């Protein structure tokens, strides 16, 4: 399976994973074995023991519980912890929502040069906001809040 985070080793140490089938059905499955292979992880899952069963789960996605993630240093966060967070653009005076702009985080995208927060600002559009201090002043995963200094200089992306 291809990895969302190629540096993570969490799939090598978990006892169970959640398998989401292409039709949306989900099943918790025990992990019998796992090992790294190039930029992927090869897993033997308990109930998938022949070609027919393997074909049934082709195209599935594999997830681990959030509680299985490693603790992060202060100032770092996982993408899943900010997806859906409320976004507020500060006013010129630095007040939250003083500019009257509010939205939500869709996801985070990693480009070779910078990570960006994809922010849906409703009718104003969807913006890719560089995850740098010039744009982002706060990411508070506990409050589900991201504050932005500005959207100035950014163009909305096609929906």
Q: What are the domain boundaries of the chain?
A: 10-68, 79-148
Question: Domain 79-148 sits in which CATH superfamily?
Answer: PRC-barrel domain (2.30.30.240)
* Per-residue confidence (pLDDT) for residue 73, from 0 to 100: 86
Please indicate whether the domains covering 10-68 and 79-148 agree at the CATH topology level: no
Phi, psi of 49 (to 5 degrees): -120, 10
Residues in the chain with pLDDT values less than 50: 1-2, 93
Distance (Å, whole) CA 144 – CA 146: 7
pLDDT at residue 105 in the model: 96
Q: Please give the CATH architecture assigned to the domain spanning 10-68.
A: Beta Barrel (2.40)
How many CA atoms are closer than 13 Å to the CA of 83, on its beta-carbon side?
A: 7
């Amino acid at each position: 399976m291809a990895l969302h985070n190629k540096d993570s080793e969490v799939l090598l140490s978990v006892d169970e994973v959640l398998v989401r089938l292409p039709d949306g059905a989900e099943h918790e499955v025990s992990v019998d074995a796992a090992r790294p292979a190039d930029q992927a992880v090869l897993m033997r899952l308990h109930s998938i023991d022949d070609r027919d069963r393997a074909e049934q789960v082709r195209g599935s996605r594999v997830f681990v519980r959030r509680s299985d993630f490693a603790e992060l240093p202060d100032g770092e966060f996982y993408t899943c912890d900010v997806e859906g967070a409320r976004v507020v653009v500060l006013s010129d005076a630095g007040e939250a929502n003083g500019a009257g702009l509010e939205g939500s985080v869709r996801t985070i995208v990693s480009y070779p040069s910078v990570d960006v927060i994809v922010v849906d600002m409703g009718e104003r559009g969807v913006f890719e906001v560089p995850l740098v201090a010039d744009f982002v002043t706060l990411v508070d995963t506990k409050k589900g809040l991201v504050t932005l200094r500005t959207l100035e200089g950014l163009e909305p992306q096609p929906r």
